[in-house]
A = this chain, B = another copy of it.
Amino acid sequence: MSKTNPGRYFEDFAVGDTIIHATPRTVTSGDVALYTALYGSRFAVQSSDAFAKTIGYAKAPVDDMLVFHIVFGKTVPDISLNAVANLGYAECRFLKPVFVGDTLSTTSDVIGVKENSNGKTGVVYVRSTGRDQTGDVVLEYVRWVMVRKRDEASSAPDPVVPELANRVAPDGLGQACPAILNSGWDYDLSGAPHRFSDYEPGERIDHVDGMTVEEAEHMTATRLYQNTAKVHFNQFTEGQGRFGRRLIYGGHVISLARALSFNGLANAFHLLAINGGRHVAPLFAGGTVFAWSKIEETAEIPGRDDIGALRILTYATVDQPCAAFPGRQEKGFDDGVILELDYWAAIPR
């Protein structure tokens, strides 16, 4: 029997299963520094212990997307090693702040399976849960992927397709955000004067700047997350594949877009939830990523008069500046669009 992990095939997932993922990870200030160096993020709350303390955190929290990537990375060897495609995300909620020194681990519950009509693949739905060393949940999200069958002749399971919310409702937001002392918020240090009431639904913001991605950068990031998906790392194999290139981890694009979005959303300091995400096209090294955002909705959070929630659609593009707001069309997306991300962010009121 091989001691090497072959990854799960479609037949290996049954609704109700819980999968415990390997390699718990203590988050360090080294991880945080690398995250800054890889994306150039400038949000004051995550960058400065002093700023974070002044507004009500014990110290600077770890960037939400770094937490996401670490929690997500652990699921790859068990969920998506034989995946054909990463189909979507939903109901991603940040539930407890993570600080340097916390140890993160991940489990996944299989909540849906549906064989495809071709008999070769099926869709698997999992709800993945990231916990800290106390067992508290810091993050959960649903993800669905298309996975190969081991044996095309095996019979199809009863299809189970979970109902997923289009968006996290405002009363489900904010658990990972302590009470914010708005009197302590210094808008010079945070980089912009705009707060909750300054944003309007429908408003569009071009984040202007572009960031070119190198092979060494996306691989370094993806290894930092201990994400083992082969397509990101192995030019020998990928060079013979469909694209002839290493594919860049979709989460790398999300983090780039989030960092670029500082220019226009400087005070939207915390991801409350990710409602959905779509990797419209792959990104390869050498491409320059741009981004723009649309304010899709603004919402008060029940019980919170310190922060409001902005529902933001961020579009990332490659080699395509965003002054003209390239995005979704009736059929498909404008040229150059590689990401549509639908999320809630907290901002001071």
- A interface vs B, CB < 8 Å? 2-5, 20-26, 28-34, 36-40, 42-44, 47-51, 60, 77, 101, 103, 105, 133, 188-192, 194, 198, 205-212, 214-217, 219-224, 226, 228, 230, 233-237, 246, 263-266, 286, 288, 290, 319, 321
Contact = CB atoms under 8 A, between A and B. Distances in A.
Nearest to A20: B188
Given A37-B220, A103-B49, A208-B4, A42 B30 contact: no
Nearest to A208: B4
Contact of A42 (B60, B220, B226): B226
A223 B40 contact: yes
Contact of A319 (B43, B103, B236): B236
Given A26-B48, A30-B30, A38-B223, A234 B209 contact: yes
Given A42-B226, A223-B40, A211 B234 contact: yes
A18 to B, nearest CB: 10
Contact of A206 (B4, B190, B208, B236): B4
A265 B4 CA distance: 8
A22 to B, nearest CB: 3
Nearest to A19: B188
B36 A33 contact: no
